[in-house]
Structure 1
Amino acid sequence: MPLNYSKWDQLELSDDSDIEGHPNVDKKSLIRWKQRDIHEKREQRKFRIQTLRAQIACNNVLLPRIHSIHSTLTSPDLDKPRTVYFNSLVEQLEKNPSKECPPGNDPNNRDHTYDGMILSLLQQVGQTARIAVKEAGVTDNQREERLGKALADGMAEHAVKLKETIDEDTKTLEEEENEQKKHITSEDMHDGFANKYVPPKPEPAPLPIAAKLDKTSKPKTKTTTTEIEVINAPKQEESTDEEEELDDDIANLTPSLEAFSRIPLKAFEQSFRFIQEHRDVVVPGASDSLLGAAFKAQYDNKPKYAKQCVHQSLLLQYGDKLGVDGLGVFFKKMIAGDKRAEMVFMDDVEKTYAHLAGRVKLSQEEQKQGGRETIMLASENEGDITFNVPSGPPPAELVLGEGMEELDIEEVRKALQLRWEIFAGLPEPLQKALQTEELVAVNKVLGDMEVSEAEEILERLDMAGIIPFSESGVRDETPAGRAAAAAASSEVD
């Protein structure tokens, strides 16, 4: 077989073989200039090709939109004047522009987005049409019709110009690419018969749930703890940290499993192709994670997605039970349309989903019976929780306690004013309950609140010193403050 050496004619050499010397310039400088000229022209050609490709791609997106606007303006079925439609379209693009833009552009710059380009074109066409109608001296009766026609003609004219621009850029791009192909550069050189060892891809790691499910030696236990705190939620059994982590791992899917779980029912060929492209789907723990996602979806009232998760989980289980190349055997039967095998599999899917739905329903009923979580005040000793409820802003006369004479009276006044403002900002039912200074009344109001709201209010009460009040030598000399101090001292005695 004769060898073909013609491809070497396309080599773009930069040595001194084709450089004519000059008496006033040394040979090495001429060679360097020739090399630089070749590289500069090569980079300029690459830049022109990239620019032309980007312009053609952008214009191919804009052209159909311009055609659509023109078709609407000339449609006899348009249910409103053409000028009204045109102005509403301009207003929509100004107020709610899309950030979709060509690759490499800044989506936050409206002029670089597709909507921004269309808006600029519409504004240009509108201004040109209004000037043309005004110069024509059209009467008011004909102005609406002439302006609508001028807008439609303007859009048609720009559509033709843009199509010509695309054709011209496409032709120029072909010429540049053909010119680029005439020269072989280092970027076009590839290894022919190089023997390079490529190690196989490592097996994907199992999911965290798999390792925890395999721990059969350590029995699972539940512990119940009761803590005495000022703020107590309803008593409930708390699982061990291991079980909580187990639930989190089941509920969370990897990106590949998330996409795998979205494949519709009976789409066996699509599932098989996805498994071939994503090896990290067939790993220990994947089936259990899909069942956990199915339980969560059913709990969130998404039965369709829950059944899809069950379906995909059983696909992996069947492939694992069939032994070596079990998935290949399973999908071969399903894709070939084996009705008996498909009926057995889908019957298992329905039974598994029905069992899961029953478990979710039971769990929801148990949760309803358990009541909602509330915040209550409690203490080991009945008298540990005290109240210091202000009856008004700080009075004009304040008396500092013994040993606290060096305190700034204005700072004390600010503290008492802050306490009153916090109390005045509380809900009215809670204010009345606090004024009774009875723990039962306060707990009744707190029990009707959401947990987050009750926690926030208790933090404010604690910060203001209303519950509990930490005596620091500062006394409230309002009538309520004196009464509270007298009651506290009598109890101590």
Structure 2
Amino acid sequence: MPLNYSKWDQLELSDDSDIEGHPNVDKRSLIRWKQRDIHEKREVRKHKIDALKAEIACNNTLQPRLKRIKERIAGATGLGTGDWAEDAEAGKTQTGLAFFQYLVDRLQTSPSSAAPPTNAKDQPTYDAMVLSLLLQIYDSVKALPKDEQEKGVLEGMEKHIKQLREHTRKLGSDLDAEVKEQNKHITSDDIKEGWENKYVPPKPAPPPIKNAITEVPKNKTTKTTTTYEVLNQPASSSSAPAPSASADDDDEPEDLPELTPSLARFSRLPLWNYAQSFSFIQENRDVVVPGASDALLVAAFQAQSDGNTAFAKQCVHQSLLLQYCDKLGKDGVRVFFQKMIAGDKRAVPIFVKDVEDTYAHLVTRAAAAAAESSSSAQKEQIQLVPENADSTISFNVPDGPPPENLILEGPETEGLDVEEVRKALMMRWTVFEGFSPELKDALREGTLESVNKVLGQMDVAEAEDVVSKLDLVGIMSFAEGGIRDETGQAQEAEGEDD
């Protein structure tokens, strides 16, 4: 097959061999001037082509407008549905010179800002060009009699429309000639990359969910112990001690997987709307990752515990969607949703039943967890129990504040300061008055059962504070041993109350 080399004739080269200059001018300067001349002519031609295209586009806009104005003056009504001044509702019923005068007034008072898309300075608008033409036509016919002015306007309009059409045709011929001249030479603008690499590397796979639950946890490792048989066995007394329990034996609760922003939006999708879920998965690759299904189940359990049953069922539904897609293999997402969207009579009932059963099991587990939490909270209470059968606990309730004339009597009162005793008695009374009415009534009753009943209704911290105050001011006294709470932790007695 013969090869065609004619395209290389379009190359415009600035070679040294085709330049002949004056002997007093160096050839290097002549070459630079030649290159600059080529580029300048190329830029001038490019600007001329752009100007011709803009002028032709402007004439193509003005020509139908002038034709429509001429027809309206000639008597046609209701023409045009555009946004120009001649298409306004106010002038649709007018014809002849009345319409001509209306149009001139309209273009002068409220012209449109639409103009040809050029960068020329002070570029006139379309309305300004039409108004200039109409005023030019009116100046040429205003000297005629009134009955001949309308005919003169129509002749002037027809003349200018014909001139505009001929001028546009000439501009088109000039444009074709300039484009043909431009295409004679190959320039840098015509260079196209024929073997450009369009390969785009695939996006990396999204990471798994944080704290994702895997089948084999990393901290569960199998330890292998190698023993060696020796000739001289060590004595039994020098045998190695039994291995101690390692830290791996006590499994600490791991952090549960949490919803990512994409999974949170995925969990809000409505039930049984398989098409919407499939579209969401296609747009968000980070939904189908390890741990996503477990994170949705954790969110479902939390929502059910908080009483948000609708959201809990949505999370279960979306979690099972991901589980089914994973079980169907590499192309499981497409296969599963293709069957569900098509309404497969075998696949849909199975999936619906699995969702209902899983949600029912979740409801049961959440209720059991709530009951277990409530019962464990009720068991935490403080109770006063004698250390042994010989110990006794009594309560010395003050009758009131110390009297003004306090007299100390008895053998054990020698050397005591009256004011210090008064302060101690006043502190006891103040502490007693700060207790709740139920506790004061139980203390006045003086039985351990009544006091424990009131302490059992308090929080652990509040009950511990009450016991410490009773012991501090001497309202509670005991002998031989001490008292202990429900866990059996003894509180050592410091002595009997005076």
Alignment TM-score > 0.5, same fold = no
Per the normalisation by structure 2, the TM-score is 0.42
Q: Normalized per residue, which structure has more helix?
A: 1
Per the normalisation by structure 1, the TM-score is 0.42
| Larger CA Rg, structure 1 vs 2 | 2
